[in-house]
Structures are given as C-alpha cells and as structure tokens.
Amino acid sequence: MKYRIYLLFSLLTFALFCAGCGSSVYVSNDDTTQKDDKYSDTDLKIMASKMYESIIERLNVLRNGQTKPPVIAFLNITNKTSEFINTSEIADKLQIQLIKAGALRFVDRQRLKDLTAQFDLSASGLMNPETAKKAGKVLGNDYFLVGDLSSINKSDRSSSLTFYRLSLRLVDAETSEIVWADESEIKKEKSKNFLDW
C-alpha cells in the first residue's frame, strides 16, 4: 500500500514538474505576433512602414530639387494610450528606415533631448513659433517631426476590441507650418474564453 502511494505521489510530482516546464525557441522577426489585443512588435512595424511610405512620397515635393536631404529634429511620439508603450521604438524604427533610404538626415536624439528643455519645445508639437525658429537655427534642422499614439478599448463578455492610431506631423522650423501629416490605424480583436469573464 505504501509503495502504491509513494509511486502515485512520485508520478503526480513528475507530471506537475513536466507541466511546469516551459521552452523557448527563436522565431523569425517577420512572423506576426498576435498573442492578445495589446500593442506588439508587429503593430510597430506596420505603423512605422506606413509612415515611412507616406513621408517618402511627400519628400519629393518638399525637397523642391534640393540635392541635400532635409534635416529633421524628431521630437517625440506622445503615448496617449492606457498601456505602457515605448514610443521611442516607433521613432527609432521610422528614423532608421528614412536614414537607410537616404531620404532625410536627423538631429541626434540625445542632443535633441538635452536642448528640448532649454528651448521649451513641447513634445506634443505645440510650439511657440519664435522659439521653434531659434531652436531650428541652433539645431540646424529644417523640420520638426512630432506625433501621438492613442487607443480606444471596447469590451464585452465575449470579446475585446482595441483600436490604435499613430499620427505624425512634420512642422517647418522656420514658419511652424505643418507641411505633412498622416496617420496609421490598427484594430485588433480578442475573443475571451470562459475564464476571462
């Protein structure tokens, strides 16, 4: 009898141990990450690519025959969602794509952070035109790039729906005129199981 209890206990312990063991594997960066309805690396890639294509299309008009690409000061993308999302990753992804294409030149983001407070440049894109003009001269940029990431969440007993919207604006450093603006939107739905109710 004791032997059977010991054997049963050993088998149960082994089964719990095996059930608790996880594994990890490498996955391709091109694979879609869809675990839930929260913001993911796939969303970052989709949104950055859409904005890249839109900016490239508009640059042909903005360059007006100039051989040297314009200089951009990428201020910030403000996170207006209820989640923690590192919006610097979106900015970095977009900046790298534009630099690789040779389409734009950028002010170093660390230098920009240091000078943002000095010139009281608002990350939200609300800038005093005179201050922006002075900052543009010091930084050597032609344009400021600013944006917002927002979300709307809806949920009921059986599903949840999350809508993400990234909007970017390119502001002329000399005139404070918005010379380009675009948005990228993603909608994600998650079905809830019985335990989520």
The answer to whether residue 105 sits within a structural domain is yes
Q: Which pLDDT band, with edges at 50, 70 and 90, does 169 fall under?
A: very high
Query: What pTM was estimated for this model as a whole?
Result: 0.74
The answer to whether residue 5 sits within a structural domain is no
pLDDT digits (tens, 9 = 90+) for 89-140: 999 999 999 999 888 889 888 777 777 666 655 544 445 556 665 666 667 8
Q: How many CB atoms lie within 10 A of CB 85?
A: 20
The answer to whether residue 83 sits within a structural domain is yes
Cα–Cα nearest to 92, from 106, 71, 113, 102:
106
pLDDT digits (tens, 9 = 90+) for 73-93: 898 899 999 899 999 999 999
Question: Residue 179 is part of a domain; what is its CATH number?
Answer: 3.40.50.10610
The answer to whether residue 173 sits within a structural domain is yes
